[in-house]
Structures are given as structure tokens and as C-alpha cells.
Amino acid sequence: MLYQNAIVSGLVAGVLARLFMLRLDYRQYPTYPHDLITHIALGAIAALIGAVFIPALLLKEFTAVTFLTIAAEQFRHVRNMERETLLKLEENELVQRGVDYVEGIARTFEARNYLTIFAAIIASGLTIWIGWLYATAATIIIIILSQFLKTGQVVGEIAEVVAAKLHFKGPLLMVDDIVIMNVGYPPSQEKILAEGMAVMIKPKDDNGRAILHSVGQRQAILHTAAALLGTKLEIAEPDFTPLARKDIDTGAIGLFILPLEKDFECLRNIIERSPVLESASRKPLETQAGRIASD
């Protein structure tokens, strides 16, 4: 009976942890209801595997423990499934996420299943050793911790976002002194000056400069801004494409967008809260050579 209670406790803890880690936001993924059901089902399977782990060890059912390694392989397939799905969706995005962002999302879905297994193992083990009340308290703590574990660094931590001047030098669209693109059609130039927005993303240190150097990171910022503010970009109208270009001397990024909602404070908040991609995360200042170069 004790082991049965432990399994139920672990299953409930794991499923709750997975539910709290699911988010439906501007990324519109996972979609409701089909992808949501898929991830909840996978979370329940992960929770069950974690819940039976401790009882299986105590009962010396070592064959059952091998299912943990099989599950790890299956959850690796989850990453592949998410990657393939998102790359298919990319084909119809006017402002794409970019391959780096897609890979980051796919890794996240895989990792959250492992967090679900961990939550179930802890709750199951504590139920056996110190009782379900302590297991309940531990479950609440794990769920709170999972909210912190699922969030990473954001652009506002590595860079400062300030307003910039949007202007033309001949046919060249400029953000301050950074050339963005060539726009030769006068009506497009007028619309861009009247309705466009521009910001400078200035890295706080060499770590921030290295992160913003990543094209994938810049594309993720553009996608986030376009998803939340909207964009007037249309098929076969490249003049209105949101773009981010680098000042090669300072590493600052000049960003241009023609939004549906022209609100600078909103745009700054969006950029500052955009995630720093794992693939773009670089820390040259943590190396001796990087510190010497920055002096």
C-alpha cells in the first residue's frame, strides 16, 4: 500500500509540474488543443516513469529501472518532433523565428520532460521515507523551482535598448549611423519615416557584444517584436521587412520595424524581455584571453 501511495504521489507531482511548465503565449506553441494534449500525455508518461523508479529500486525490480533509459531515448525523439514541426511552420512566417530559436524551443520541450521525471522521483521517494505531507510540500517547492528553471537570461540583462533616429541618406535607410537597407521607392520611404520605429541595442560588455553578434539572436528579437507589435510587412514587399544590423565598430545593433502599433516603450520592453538563445550564449570575459582583450 505504501508503494502504491508513493506511485500516486509521484504521478500527481509530475503531472502538476508539467502542467505548470506549459505556456500558451505569443509564440503560439504548443497550440490548443491538439499539441497541448500531446504534451500533457507525454508529461503523464514521464511522471509515471519517475513515480515507479524508487519503488522499483526498493523492490529490487531492476528490469523496471531500465525503462528510464528507454524513456530518455523517447524524449530525445520529442525534440526531433518539435524541431520538424516548427521548421515546417517557418515556411509560412513572414518574420521567421530562425533556426537557432527553433532549436532552443525543441531542446526546452525535451528538458521539461526530464524535469517532470525528477519531480515525480522526489515526490515518490519522500512519500515512502517521510510521509505524503512532506511530499506535498516538496512538490510545491519543486513546482516553484521549475518556474525559475524554465526561464533563462533575457536581452535586457546583457544590453541597453534606447531610441534611435530613423532617416534616409539618399536611398539608404539608416538607424543612426547604421545602414539597414536600400529603399528606392519614394512612397515606401515616406511611409517608413512616418510610421517606422528604430532602436539601438547597446551591449553592456563584451559578453553582450558576443551574444548580439549572433545572427540567430537578432532574428529571434525581430520575430518576437513582429509577433507582439505586429508588422506591416506583406508578401513581395521587401521595403517593410524588419531588420537588425550591427555597427561593426561598437557591436551595437540598429533595429528597424514598421509596426502595427507604434509604441516605443512597448518595443523596448519586448526587446529587453526577449530570450537569450542557448546557441548564442557566449562569455568571452570568463576566459583569460577574453579579459585581456577587453582591457
Inform me whether the pLDDT recorded for 225 exceeds 90: yes
Can you name the residues that pair with 245 across neighbouring β-strands? 254
Residue 236 pLDDT grade (very low, low, confident, very high; cuts 50, 70, 90): confident
Calpha distance 14→143 (Å, rounded): 9
Residue 25 pLDDT grade (very low, low, confident, very high; cuts 50, 70, 90): low
Same-domain check for residues 13 and 142? yes
Q: Is residue 253 classed as helix, strand or coil in its secondary structure?
A: strand
Structurally, how many domains does the chain consist of?
A: 2
Looking up cell 507531482 gives: 13
Same-domain check for residues 137 and 10? yes
What's this model's pTM, rounded to 2 decimal places? 0.84
Same-domain check for residues 226 and 281? yes
What average pLDDT does the segment 258-270 reach? 93
pLDDT in tens, 56-80: 888 887 776 676 677 767 777 778 8
Same-domain check for residues 39 and 171? no
DSSP of 169-230: ETTEEEETTEEEEE---HHHHHHHHHH-EEEEEEESSHHHHHHHT-HHHHHHHHHHHHHHH-
Looking up cell 512538490 gives: 139
Inform me whether the pLDDT recorded for 24 exceeds 60: no
Same-domain check for residues 46 and 144? yes
Same-domain check for residues 199 and 119? no
Among 126, 151, 176, the domain boundary falls at: 151
Same-domain check for residues 210 and 275? yes
Domain residues for the domain of 108 are 2-151
Among 116, 151, 186, the domain boundary falls at: 151
Among 124, 151, 178, the domain boundary falls at: 151
| C-alpha separations of 3 from 43, 129, 165, 205 in Å | 21, 11, 66, 53
Rounded to an integer, what is the distance from CA 223 to the centroid of its chain? Answer: 12
Inform me whether the pLDDT recorded for 137 exceeds 80: yes
Looking up cell 528553471 gives: 149
Question: How much is the pLDDT for 292?
Answer: 60
Same-domain check for residues 22 and 142? yes
Q: What's the half-sphere exposure (Cβ side, CA atoms, 13 Å) at 37?
A: 3
What average pLDDT does the segment 125-147 reach? 81
Calpha distance 170→174 (Å, rounded): 10
Same-domain check for residues 179 and 140? no
Same-domain check for residues 82 and 196? no
Calpha distance 161→267 (Å, rounded): 9
Q: Provide CB contacts within 8 A for 266, sequence distance 6+.
A: 228, 229
Same-domain check for residues 82 and 207? no
Report residue 250 as a C-alpha cell. 561598437
Least confident of 53-57, 116-120, 265-269, 281-285: 281-285
Which has the higher per-residue pLDDT, 291 or 276?
276
Neighbour-count burial of 266, counting CB atoms closer than 10 A to its CB (0-12 exposed, 13-18 middle, 19+ buried): middle
Looking up cell 517557418 gives: 90
What average pLDDT does the segment 204-210 reach? 92
**Torsional sign, CA 33, 111, 141, 158:** negative
Same-domain check for residues 122 and 222? no
Question: How much is the pLDDT for 190?
Answer: 95
